[in-house]
Amino acid sequence: MDTSAFVTSLATSFAIFIVLLFLYSWLSRTSSNFVIYYPLRISRGLGPPEDVKSRSPWAWLREAWQASEKEIIDLAGLDAAVYINFLDAVLQILGYSAFFCVPVLVPLAVTSDNYSTAVRAPTDPAFGGFDKLSMGNIAKNKSRIWAFLIAAYWLSIVTYIVLWQKYKHIINVRDQVLSANARPEQFTVLVQNLPPPTNGTRSEQVDAFFRKLHPDAYEKCLVVTKLHKSSKLWTKLDSLKRKLKHAEAVFGQSKTKDKPEGIRPQHKTGFLGLVGAKVDTIDNSKEKIKDLSVKLQAEQKRTIAEEQEASAFAIFNNRAVAAEVSQSAIATIASKWRTSQAPEPEEIVWGNLSMPYLPQLFRKFGIYFLVFLIIIFYMIPISFVSALTSLDNLEKLVPFIKSIVKIKVLNTVLQAYLPQLALIIFLALLPSLLMFLSKLEGIVSHSHLVRATAGKYFYFNVVNVFLGVTISGTVFNALKKITKQPGQIVSLLDASLPPQASFFITYIALLFFVGYGLELSRLVPLIIFHIKKRFLCKTEEEIRDAWAPGPFNYHTHVPADMLIVTIAACYAVLAPMVLPFAIMYFALGWIIVRNQALKVYIPKYDSGGRMWPHMQARILAALVISQITMLGYFSVKKFVFSFLLFPLPIATLIFAYVCNKLFYTAFRVTPISLVSTDLKDMPSVASLVEAYTPTCLTPEDKFEDAEKFEDARSTATSRTSSGITSPA
Amino acid sequence: MDTSAFVTSLATSFAIFIVLLFLYSWLSRTSSNFVIYYPLRISRGLGPPEDVKSRSPWAWLREAWQASEKEIIDLAGLDAAVYINFLDAVLQILGYSAFFCVPVLVPLAVTSDNYSTAVRAPTDPAFGGFDKLSMGNIAKNKSRIWAFLIAAYWLSIVTYIVLWQKYKHIINVRDQVLSANARPEQFTVLVQNLPPPTNGTRSEQVDAFFRKLHPDAYEKCLVVTKLHKSSKLWTKLDSLKRKLKHAEAVFGQSKTKDKPEGIRPQHKTGFLGLVGAKVDTIDNSKEKIKDLSVKLQAEQKRTIAEEQEASAFAIFNNRAVAAEVSQSAIATIASKWRTSQAPEPEEIVWGNLSMPYLPQLFRKFGIYFLVFLIIIFYMIPISFVSALTSLDNLEKLVPFIKSIVKIKVLNTVLQAYLPQLALIIFLALLPSLLMFLSKLEGIVSHSHLVRATAGKYFYFNVVNVFLGVTISGTVFNALKKITKQPGQIVSLLDASLPPQASFFITYIALLFFVGYGLELSRLVPLIIFHIKKRFLCKTEEEIRDAWAPGPFNYHTHVPADMLIVTIAACYAVLAPMVLPFAIMYFALGWIIVRNQALKVYIPKYDSGGRMWPHMQARILAALVISQITMLGYFSVKKFVFSFLLFPLPIATLIFAYVCNKLFYTAFRVTPISLVSTDLKDMPSVASLVEAYTPTCLTPEDKFEDAEKFEDARSTATSRTSSGITSPA
């Protein structure tokens, strides 16, 4: 990448960001947009900030900056707090690294002359001046390389210290949250893979065992049932009710002064409402709702009686006993009577609760293998796209582009952005596929699904984006030359690896300026909301659905951030100028995520920060990759003391092992000491039973209550007092 | 190895075996030898078989053959039964493999002609006719190799099926034993790494937590103390008491008719009894015992009060609750309040109970690294010894050997045995070192120590003996030729690998004929016993100590067997003639181990068959090694379908993972369902406290009882009713 393309890329990114920032501070003052910019505050009953109309454009910055961790946890939950802690940890690691790498290594590199003397002529157009700031500009086996070696150690040690402290901090915070709040899942044990009962019913089987073991603490069990049919009926009923409300609202609005009797809405009964007899929508819906309600009730009864599966929720009145039971092996063969802490009611994946153990295990292997194949073979289309999106190739393939390319400015912009854009669009297709595959694994909670998807996505990113771009870029550049001077592979690799850094810098800049600009300004949700409100929504409920933003998408956010971490870690020493850009990315991310956590995203459930061990492991994975890359590159530089880098990956693995041993247990299970404290208010058994009864099995007359309650619930942090009542 | 050396080796081994067998049936009829051949039966109060003087020489064979598993468990414990099951499993695997490999592969190999045509002249003296029975005699890329490929699959599948069934069988047996017998360790939880108590004593700290958690089930705790000083005093006192008894016995025997007053034994008080004043041994000992008893009592009090450490045994009155607590994470940081099921009282490694967690973790890494170094660098002396022990080299180094070598028979015998003998002697030095290192790891029970040592020893065997001999033999042979025809490495490897099989066959034959012959005839213990009895022992106690055989040495037996398993698995397909010899080894082992388990070895403790998962994992490790060896050798044979062997190692890893997931938990912890059955007779809390009080802290007036009891105890299988009483 030549210098002008590089600067253009940065400049346009920055310009877009400024525009988006301006749009945000303007749009967020208009009261019709409040539901887009302050939905969390509104749904929690706080409303937009008081001075919203008169405030300075930087007020949001100050608010996001000043919010305490406790405020964030209270408003947005522990998961958001942990995500912010993750950004904070990365920021610290990169900051401390930059503290050494930038002022020491960059001057050493820029005053060297490897590129100008040894490798190629300075007139080579593909070679930017920026590349001279990297280790590539140091000649082979110079004593200056010692400074880079020290930097490698510095980076590793800084990472260990920061991660160690963060892990301890997050465990502390989690401890406080878990021990203070009585959550329904703390009283409930999920028992899976029950063997067929020898005599009596499923619930008798479970009762008999737990009542004998804990006569005082055990209350009752809820056997899991196949929900397929009830769920279908329930969804149908729900959509009919919405339709009815919509029709009533339309009818109400049609009652103008001129026409006080209004126009009753009608629709056709046939395919997609396009054919068939015309009927009165309100009457028709009411009739259908009546029918369906009867059917649903019958189906609910049948499901509870006949569709019982081999798993159950066992409810205890004592958190400590429930925690003990959830951690104990019950049967000798581990595929039977598997216990674990129940997921939070809101995040249960009902369909996966009753998968048989061995098939699930093999399914998991199958899916890992499939993901492995996807990761490997995505390389092919990606390299194809990379080749396509070089302007020269595009000109040949799509001749009309030639006229566009002739415009000087446009040419530079295109050359700067095309490869990155292609990469980003390509990646957008993947998360849903990975989420789907993770669900097939038989995971029982949504937060676990999110973690599983994020893990797969991270490895995809590392292999395809990071390694893919680095290796194919490097090898491709090297191959171009090799035809002319064969036998010089190593020195060509030497010259080609660091210049990839500038590609990644523009990639990071694009992500952080444009990505975070869009995130903050919420332009897309804003437009969609206004369109929906104008043309589609009639009832309050529909309008709420149109603006309700849902939770953070951790499964795409975290891997994207992790990719930047990997890039930054790998180039921190080899091309330290990556660091300032990565730091800007995470600084901007930190402040904007805090803003969004405090004002925008509404969490559906809280996993209690279980994402953290996952994040920590991935940061360490990125560190190992960077350590191995450095080992390789130092050897290419024929530095005789390269072997001194050997202990680093081993140290990282040991560090990961020790952290895992010390801290991970507290995330995997609930430690007894946390839940053996006395509680002021215990949830009633009835409320626990309600919470773990799926909505579609709730008696119909409770629906209305349940729905009303659902609105109320999202304004309260506590989830214990679900209003759904037990069937029979 | 040429054919005559090979046959000589087998023949001499067999001859020695016959002699030892004859010696056994003769010696075991003499009543003065009963304590050597039937010690277990004697200590269990059964005495030698009734017809012992008139029985046929094969009676022991029938008895060992007919004994049921229940009898073995009752007499020798679950550990011995599991060891026999292990031999049985290996026997089945090898038997089923031989069923296919010998009749199919051997004819295919022997009717081929690779050795006679392609590789070398048939006159090559180092090349035995036996080698023609191996895959080496098949020419490259022949369709006959398909049969060998099928054999590779056959071997793997047979292993999976046998191991799967064995695992289930052993879990079943273990379940029955564990749930029926109330053992003290089932009621006791070891709590390690307690944080410093904030207020009050250690025992108050532990009491407060568990009493709150399980008010009904928790009884009391025993805080672990530093035993160093008390233990030293106790040992000294004990040896003085023995000395006194010995002296009294000597005095008693000296009272002959001629001299009814006897001679009072005397000794010198100085260094080793060689210098210093002469004193009356009986009086002197009595005096010293008096002094020491007072000192010990004071020290015991001081230890209990002042030397408390950061760990404790928590005693419950309910097995299920104890099992739950032992499986639960208590503190958030896993290095605090670590719980686990207490080891059996007899096998506690007291000094390791209170190691701080993190230092122990790093110690473990350090020791693994050290063992890794030992494994790698033992190669050097081993190859040195191998080179030395070839007769030609010995002649050069030790010229006088020349005259011996001239004797034709001796020459052949030496050539057959020298390398194997060197190997065996060399290996005998290692187990104690590995045991010592394992102890430094901070392992808290002896049975775990044995497993850890066996694991290290197995990897040592694989790397140094198996890989060492195979590779150095192969490469050495290949190198000899390579100087003449460079560039033919592959075809030379092809020729050199299978002939190593005959080395291993003689090695196996030596081990099984001579090793098991010695094991059965117990010549060495017999001789030592008679010498001791004649010249040293005066008291009953001393005589008992002279014959008491102790338990099986699993930490040397199992790795030795595993080495044969590895050899057999690796050569089963490449050189199937290894199989009959390996089968003979394990068949002989099976019958002799049963005999020894029923009659000889006296177990000190029973780990409940926890060795099995270890054995199963090692068998699978051997299988993976064999699968990779085959993959390599098939490629050397340039067989185009070699890639079909790729799924095998992966399948083995998946099999190991699935077994681990399904079955291992039941060995790691006690499943709740096993211990939630009601017990007829519960051990009293007092008896539990007694069991977990170290002997050196037992009040002195209980010593005599305790010692008497110890004799009684070894005659009973149950260990619940230890007679040692609690201090205070």
Q: How many CB atoms lie within 10 A of CB B272?
A: 7
- Token pair of B677 as six digits: 């059955």
Tell the residue number behind the tokens 């490698």, with chain if given: A152
Query: Once rounded to an integer, what is the mean pLDDT over residues A36-57?
Result: 80
Report pLDDT digits (tens) over B48-103.
877 777 777 788 888 888 889 999 998 888 999 999 999 999 999 999 999 998 88
- Alpha helices in A522-577, H assignment, sequence order: 523-535, 540-547, 554-574
| pLDDT for res A87 | 95
| pLDDT for res B460 | 87
* Type of residue found at B86: F
Lowest-pLDDT range of A611-615, A705-709, B578-582: A705-709
Contacts of B334 in chain A (CB under 8 A): 661-666
CB contact under 8 A, A329 and B324: no
CB contact under 8 A, A661 and B337: no
Contacts of A337 in chain B (CB under 8 A): 673
CB A464 within 8 A of CB A626: no
A478 or A140: whose pLDDT is higher? A140
> Could you tell me which residues come within 8 angstroms of residue B719 by beta carbon, excluding any fewer than 6 positions away?
B183, B184, B344, B345, B346, B605, B691, B713
Query: Once rounded to an integer, what is the mean pLDDT over residues B409-434?
Result: 72
- Token pair of A608 as six digits: 């209690």
Q: Provide the 3-class DSSP secondary structure of residue A443.
A: coil
| pLDDT for res B431 | 87
Q: Does B673 touch chain A (CB under 8 A)?
A: yes
Number of residues that make up chain A: 728
CB A158 within 8 A of CB A93: yes
Residue B632: pLDDT over 90:
no
Lowest-pLDDT range of A398-412, A445-459, A709-723: A709-723
Return the ∠ at Cα A216 (arms to A212 and A220), rounded to 5°.
75
- Token pair of B699 as six digits: 């009040």
Query: Once rounded to an integer, what is the mean pLDDT over residues B677-689?
Result: 84
Assign residue A183 a region (left: φ > 0; alpha: ψ between -120 and 50; beta: otherwise). beta
- Token pair of B186 as six digits: 């089932």
Question: What stretch of H or E contains B190?
Answer: strand B188-192
Residue A390: pLDDT over 70:
no
Q: Does A325 touch chain B (CB under 8 A)?
A: yes
Question: Which member of B329, B654, B672 has the closest CB to residue A666?
Answer: B329
d(CA B358, nearest CA chain A) in Å:
8
3-class SS letters over A284-335: HHHHHHHHHHHHHHHHHHHHHHHCEEEEEEEEECCHHHHHHHHHCCCCCCCC
**pLDDT band at A79, cuts 50/70/90?**
very high
CB contact under 8 A, B334 and A212: no
* d(C-alpha A70, C-alpha A72), whole Å: 5
CB A328 within 8 A of CB A228: no
Residues of chain A with pLDDT > 90: what percent?
27
CB B558 within 8 A of CB B86: yes
**pLDDT band at B397, cuts 50/70/90?**
low
CB contact under 8 A, B171 and A212: no
Query: Once rounded to an integer, what is the mean pLDDT over residues A563-589?
Result: 89
* d(C-alpha A431, C-alpha A557), whole Å: 10
Name which of B651, B720, B648, B641 is nearest B686 in CA terms.
B720
* d(C-alpha A554, C-alpha A547), whole Å: 20
Report pLDDT digits (tens) over B519-532.
888 888 888 888 88
Name which of B517, B543, B715, B539 is nearest B32 in CA terms.
B543
CB contact under 8 A, A333 and B171: yes
Residue A160: pLDDT over 60:
yes
Residue A4: pLDDT over 70:
yes
* d(C-alpha B456, C-alpha B447), whole Å: 14
How many angstroms from the chain centroid is the CA of residue B134? 33
* d(C-alpha B295, C-alpha B156), whole Å: 63
Query: Once rounded to an integer, what is the mean pLDDT over residues B174-180?
Result: 88
Query: Once rounded to an integer, what is the mean pLDDT over residues B165-185?
Result: 90
Name which of A455, A612, A596 is nearest A516 in CA terms.
A596
Residue A214: pLDDT over 80:
yes
The values of phi and psi at residue B722, to 5°, are -60, 140
Best of B207, B332, B670 to substitute, by most chain A Cβ atoms within 10 angstroms, is B332
Q: Does A333 touch chain B (CB under 8 A)?
A: yes
Name which of A470, A469, A466, A440 is nearest A452 in CA terms.
A440
> Could you tell me which residues come within 8 angstroms of residue B498 by beta carbon, excluding any fewer than 6 positions away?
B131, B134, B135, B136, B137, B571, B574, B575
- Give A724's DSSP letter: P
Q: Does B669 touch chain A (CB under 8 A)?
A: yes
Interface of B with A in 210-229 (CB under 8 A): 212-213
Number of residues that make up chain B: 728
**Distance spanning both ends of chain B, measured CA to CA:** 70
Residue B722: pLDDT over 50:
no
Residues of chain B with pLDDT > 70: what percent?
82
B626 or A117: whose pLDDT is higher? B626
Query: Once rounded to an integer, what is the mean pLDDT over residues A415-421?
Result: 66
| pLDDT for res A152 | 93
CB B9 within 8 A of CB B411: no
| pLDDT for res B486 | 47
Could you tell me the strand order of the sheet in which B308-316 lies? B218-225, B308-316, B188-192, B338-341
Residue B723: pLDDT over 50:
no
Lowest-pLDDT range of A486-490, B267-271, B358-362: A486-490
Residue A124: pLDDT over 50:
no
d(CA A623, nearest CA chain B) in Å:
21
Report pLDDT digits (tens) over A623-664.
999 998 888 888 877 788 888 999 999 999 999 999 999 999
Q: Does A671 touch chain B (CB under 8 A)?
A: yes
Query: Once rounded to an integer, what is the mean pLDDT over residues B590-619?
Result: 91
Lowest-pLDDT range of A434-448, A676-690, B161-175, B616-630: A676-690
**Distance spanning both ends of chain A, measured CA to CA:** 70
Tell the residue number behind the tokens 């990897």, with chain if given: B459
* d(C-alpha B540, C-alpha A67), whole Å: 81
| pLDDT for res A621 | 94
Cα dihedral B501/B502/B504/B505 (nearest 10): 120
Residue A116: pLDDT over 70:
no
In order, the DSSP letters of B446-487 are HHHHHHHHHHHHHHHIIIIIIIHHHHHHHHHHHHHHHTTSTT
- Token pair of A651 as six digits: 């140290």
Name which of B563, B444, B443 is nearest B504 in CA terms.
B563
Name the most confidently modeled range: A485-494, A661-670, B152-161, B433-442.
B152-161
Q: Does A679 touch chain B (CB under 8 A)?
A: no
Residue-averaged pLDDT of chain B: 81
* d(C-alpha B157, C-alpha B652), whole Å: 9
For CA atoms A417, A420, A422, A424, the dihedral sign is negative
| pLDDT for res A721 | 33
Tell the residue number behind the tokens 């975070």, with chain if given: A516
| pLDDT for res A387 | 63
Contacts of A358 in chain B (CB under 8 A): 658, 662
CB contact under 8 A, A673 and B327: no
Cα distances (Å, whole numbers) of residue A324 to A509, B67, B623, B700: 49, 42, 39, 41
CB contact under 8 A, B329 and A672: yes
Give, to the nearest 10 degrees, the angle between helix A611-636 and helix A489-496.
130
For chain B, domain boundaries: 3-180+386-422+490-645
> Could you tell me which residues come within 8 angstroms of residue A524 by beta carbon, excluding any fewer than 6 positions away?
A518
* d(C-alpha B147, C-alpha B574), whole Å: 11
* d(C-alpha B79, C-alpha B450), whole Å: 12
- Name the residue of chain A whose CA is nearest to B653's CA: A365
CB contact under 8 A, B325 and A327: no
Residue B163: pLDDT over 50:
yes
Report pLDDT digits (tens) over B292-349.
888 888 888 888 888 888 999 999 998 999 999 999 999 988 889 999 999 999 899 9
Question: Which member of A212, A324, A361 has the closest CB to residue B658?
Answer: A361
3-class SS letters over A613-681: HHHHHHHHHHHHHHHHHHHHHHHHCCCCCHHHHCHHHHHHHHHHHHHHHHHHHHHHCCCHHHHCCCCCC
d(CA A156, nearest CA chain B) in Å:
19
| pLDDT for res A591 | 92
d(CA A579, nearest CA chain B) in Å:
33
How many angstroms from the chain centroid is the CA of residue A327? 28
Residue-averaged pLDDT of chain A: 81
CB contact under 8 A, B327 and A325: no
Name which of A56, A40, B286 is nearest A48 in CA terms.
A40
Query: Once rounded to an integer, what is the mean pLDDT over residues B124-134?
Result: 58
Residue B124: pLDDT over 50:
no
- Token pair of A551 as six digits: 């939770």
CB contact under 8 A, B665 and A334: yes
A294 or A274: whose pLDDT is higher? A294
The ipTM value here is 0.83
Q: Provide the 3-class DSSP secondary structure of residue A220.
A: strand
Cα distances (Å, whole numbers) of residue A120 to A127, A142, A487, A496: 9, 19, 15, 11
B314 or A415: whose pLDDT is higher? B314
**Residue B190 β-bridge partners:** B313, B340
CB B319 within 8 A of CB B185: no
